[in-house]
Structures are given as structure tokens and as C-alpha cells.
Amino acid sequence: MSFTIAIDGPAASGKGTIARAVAREFGFVHLDTGLLYRAVGAIGGDPILAALRLRPEDLSRDGLRTAEAGQAASRVAAIPEVRSALVDFQRRFALSEPGAVLDGRDIGTVICPEAQLKLYVTASDEIRARRRALELGADEAHILAELRERDARDAARDVAPMRPAEDAMLLDTSQLSIDEAVARVIEAVRLRSRR
């Protein structure tokens, strides 16, 4: 039986870094589900049609990690038909053997509510803006405004709003190093896998 880890949280909280490290540690496959929405936004045209026709190779497109792609992803993710078109892809991926780590904004609440481990990773707005600005070589104040706008949109959408699952482990990475955050999650996976 596969072991599924659902990691949710806002942009630049560290969820992707944690997800990749945990997947490597356990030999699990990893899916950054935000790339699905970024790819749909980058393809352009009718977002519903783009979601229905999305191919795995579309996740390797150039420019999917830019701030513009993130904003486009947040806009198309608010469209119920786009979300619906991508749910099956994500749920099939979550059943990969020996396990899968999916990170996004609605994994523990919508995509994989039965995941063996659910996490909600967060950090202060200022810390997240500083991290993203360093990553992109961008203006921190501008990034902070964009993050807050995106968080508000993602939390307020009618379909699958960004929020922690009721049984999610909360992990605030504001004052944690990457190694410390990853170690906490690895420990949680080991505890859950013994049950």
C-alpha cells in the first residue's frame, strides 16, 4: 500500500523544499501541484481546455517558476472547472508506489483527504517575501504585496480554499532552518508509518 503525504500552505513557506527532501529521504515520488496550475496559466487561451489537455511534459515548460506564472496560476485555480479537470490527475499520482508527496493548497482538504500524513506549512508574510525576493532577485516590498494578494484570493475562493485540514500537523518555518523543518517532517512520517 502506498503512503501519501499531503503538504499545504502559502507560497514561499517552504512546503516545496520540504516536500522534495522528504520524497528523496523515503524514495517517494513528488508532485508540486502548483505546477499544474502554473502550466495551465502559461498555456493561455481557454483555461478549462488547457487543463483538460494538460500533459506531463507541460510541467517542464520554461518560466513556470516566475512571479507572473504564480499570479496566473492563482487566477486559473479559482475556476471550478479547471480544478475539477486536474483532480483525477493528482489523485492517481497520490497512489504511486511506494509513496507520494504532493504539495499545494488543497491537498489535505480536497485532493487527498485520506492521506496518511497531512501538513500545513506556513511562515510570516515578511519571511516568505524575503525568501521569494532572494529566490527571484526581486523587490521584497513588491513580492510582499503580491504574496498577500495571492493569499487573499486563494483563501477566499469558493472552491477548495487554502486552509489547513482539521487533522493537519501545523509547521511554522519562520524561525526554522530547512534542515530543522525537514527533520520534523521525517520524524512525523516515521511515526505515522509505524501505525
Farthest CA pair distance, the chain: 47
First vs last Cα of the chain: how many Å apart? 13
- Please check the confidence at residue 7 and state whether its pLDDT lies above 80: yes
In a domain, 152, yes or no: yes
Based on its alpha-carbon atoms, the radius of gyration of the chain, rounded to whole angstroms, reads 16
The answer to the question of residue 185 being in a domain is: no
Write out pLDDT tens, residues 116-163: 999 999 999 999 999 999 988 899 999 999 999 988 888 888 778 889
Give the Cα separation of 125 and 9 in Å (integer): 12
> In 3-state terms, the chain is what percent helix, strand and coil (to 5)?
55, 15, 30
Domain residues for the domain of 47 are 3-179
Q: What is the pLDDT of residue 193?
A: 86
Please give the pLDDT value at position 101. Answer: 97
CATH code, domain carrying 48: 3.40.50.300
Q: Which of 121, 85, 84 is nearest to 102 (CA)?
A: 121
**Structure confidence at residue 68 (pLDDT):** 84
Does any domain span residue 67? Answer: yes
- The count of domains in the chain is 1
**pLDDT at residue 195 above 70?**
no
Residue ranges of the annotated binding site are: 9-17
Residue 62 resides in a domain: yes
Does 186 fall in a domain? no
Q: For the whole model, what pTM was predicted?
A: 0.86
* Nearest 10 degrees: Cα torsion 7, 13, 17, 19: 0
Residue 24 has pLDDT above 90, yes or no: yes
Residue 191 within any structural domain of the chain: no
Indicate the DSSP class of residue 7. Answer: E
130 assigned to some structural domain: yes
In the three-class reduction of DSSP (H, G, I as helix; E, B as strand; rest coil), residue 121 is classed as strand
pLDDT tens string 62-86? 999 887 888 888 889 889 899 899 9
Is residue 77 in some structural domain?
Answer: yes
pLDDT band at 34 (very low <50, low <70, confident <90, very high): confident
Cα–Cα distance, 192 to 23 (Å, whole number): 15
Which residues fall in the annotated binding site for ATP? 9-17
Residue (of 162, 161, 133, 158) closest to 146 by Cα position:
133
